[in-house]
Structure 1
Amino acid sequence: MKKVLIIGGHGKIALLLAPLLTAAGMEVTSVIRNAAQSDAVAATGAVPVVHDVESSSVAELTELFAGQDALIWSAGAGGGDPARTFAVDRDAAIRSMDAAAAAGVGRYVMVSYLGAGPDHGVPEGDSFFAYAEAKAAADAHLRVGALPWTILAPGALTQDPATAQVDPTPAAERDPKAPRNTSRANVALVAAAVLQRAETTGRTIEFTDGTVPVEEALTP
């Protein structure tokens, strides 16, 4: 894995992930919407590229992705507006998958969340409903497409430091009252690790912070 493109390059996970990838010798391109974020992205070792994926066609994204070995989707609308949530987290994400396949990208990693899926259980009146629906649709599209994929499903994100230890218990087997905190720094470590491990292809990696070393947790 040599050339990696991150969509959502100024996000909290992406800013932690890019230095891990560049330290591993990868050429990282981080896609951002706002040119004012370029310096912060460049400081991670990634090359910032200003591009609005929300309004881009599949053809435009295919051109953007040309020559990349892997793509990591770490973008999001940020909640608040259901219409924009569907536009970014579902529609733009799906277009990026179709474009990545057309561009011959060899690996696609989606940052989703623990419990995502058509049976997410979020009531329609909940402010999280649009995001849950959008992620369910995007993840489903990725699973049935032609791309070699991995879906990361962390729990509730925090700013805690990395521990490199997680709990890989599937969501369906967890005590619903148990803590589900997951540091963004650990998410970045898992994302970097799956790119180096072909056996994580075609898998949904569910995890929270825990006591199992990341490398052990990723072993089938």
Structure 2
Amino acid sequence: MRIAIIGGHGKIALLLGPLLSGHEVTGVIRNPDQASDLEAAGLRPAVADVETMSTQQLTELLQGQDLVVWSAGAGGGDPERTYAVDRDAATRTMDAAEQAGVGRYLMVSYLGARRDHGVPEDNAFFAYAEAKSAADQHLRDSGLGWTIVAPGQLSLDEPTGSIEVRGSGPGSDPAASEGEELAPIARADVAAVIAAVVGREDLTGRMIEFVGGDTPIDQALDEVAAGA
């Protein structure tokens, strides 16, 4: 399978690269100085600034790919750039993927992303919540075979190979009950979830919301696919 990871130098993307060794994987990066890091992770670097590229330019970039993974982000701090990257650039890549004939698109979102996210407008997280919910909905409305991977709080802990799936979908409430603490999820486990989803078309049309837990990843995804 030919896979393009947008945001190829992110922590999750660099952990994902070695897990996709049986595929032809391109990591899209803006900074050419990062190319050697991608190559070390088994990714073929492609230098392109998706924030400024037109839909047509992105279509050319994604031509011939079977799957696109969006793992990019503005990094917070500047609401204007958050909307430019996490919403506008993301949605352009979806439109471009459709035009390029890409069959599947995997979005890395966050636990609780939805139109009614509940984040107050004066909260620093508001722009990100708005941008991600808009991008996720654009993907759902597209003609792509989509899957949204939505982890909870990320950590740099060692992977456990296990997760806990929370309620999934726009009408669900994945947040903790009052007073409940959700276990953070290791970035390496997020990468493992993405790698597993790559090989599972039965998860098309699913939003997978998860945190750290005790259920082996493959078993947890089986339950999601079965609608459990």
Q: Do they fold alike, i.e. is TM over 0.5?
A: yes
For residue 123 of structure 2, what is the aligned residue in structure 1? 126
SS at match of 1:54: coil
Give the whole-Å Cα distance in 2 for the aligned partners of 1:31 and 1:217.
Answer: 30
SS at match of 2:74: coil
Task: Kindly state the Cα deviation for residue 180 of structure 1 after the two structures are TM-superposed.
Answer: 4.2
1:209 matched to 2:227: no
Q: Which of the residues 49, 56, 62 maps onto 2:53?
A: 56
For residue 2 of structure 2, what is the aligned residue in structure 1? 3
Q: For structure 1, which segment, 82-91 or 191-200, has the greater mean C-alpha deviation from structure 2 after superposition? A: 191-200
Which letter does structure 2 place at the counterpart of 1:19?
A: P
Report how many residues are paired: 217
What TM-score results when the alignment is normalised by the length of structure 2?
Answer: 0.93
For residue 172 of structure 1, what is the aligned residue in structure 2? 173
Q: Which of the residues 82, 101, 105 maps onto 2:98?
A: 101
Is this contact kept in 1: 2:183–2:213, CA < 8 A?
A: no
Give the whole-Å Cα distance in 1 for the aligned partners of 2:166 and 2:32.
Answer: 40
Give the whole-Å Cα distance in 2 for the aligned partners of 1:60 and 1:161.
Answer: 38
For residue 86 of structure 1, what is the aligned residue in structure 2? 83
SS at match of 2:51: helix
Give the whole-Å Cα distance in 2 for the aligned partners of 1:145 and 1:169.
Answer: 25
For residue 116 of structure 1, what is the aligned residue in structure 2? 113
SS at match of 1:175: coil
Give the whole-Å Cα distance in 2 for the aligned partners of 1:197 and 1:16.
Answer: 19
Task: Kindly state the Cα deviation for residue 179 of structure 1 after the two structures are TM-superposed.
Answer: 2.0
Task: Kindly state the Cα deviation for residue 161 of structure 1 after the two structures are TM-superposed.
Answer: 1.5
CA deviations 1:162-195 (Å, max 9, x no partner) are 1110000227153253224111111100000011
Gaps of 5+ in 2: none
Is this contact kept in 1: 2:182–2:212, CA < 8 A?
A: no
SS at match of 1:55: coil
Task: Kindly state the Cα deviation for residue 143 of structure 1 after the two structures are TM-superposed.
Answer: 0.4
Give the whole-Å Cα distance in 2 for the aligned partners of 1:96 and 1:183.
Answer: 27
SS at match of 2:5: strand
1:194 matched to 2:193: no
Give the whole-Å Cα distance in 1 for the aligned partners of 2:82 and 2:166.
Answer: 28
Gaps of 5+ in 1: none
Which letter does structure 2 place at the counterpart of 1:148?
A: G
1:150 matched to 2:147: yes
What TM-score results when the alignment is normalised by the length of structure 1?
Answer: 0.96
Give the whole-Å Cα distance in 1 for the aligned partners of 2:183 and 2:52.
Answer: 34
Which letter does structure 2 place at the counterpart of 1:191?
A: I
Q: For structure 1, which segment, 165-174 or 30-39, has the greater mean C-alpha deviation from structure 2 after superposition? A: 165-174
Give the whole-Å Cα distance in 1 for the aligned partners of 2:114 and 2:121.
Answer: 14
Give the whole-Å Cα distance in 1 for the aligned partners of 2:40 and 2:61.
Answer: 22
For residue 185 of structure 2, what is the aligned residue in structure 1? 182
Which letter does structure 2 place at the counterpart of 1:181?
A: P
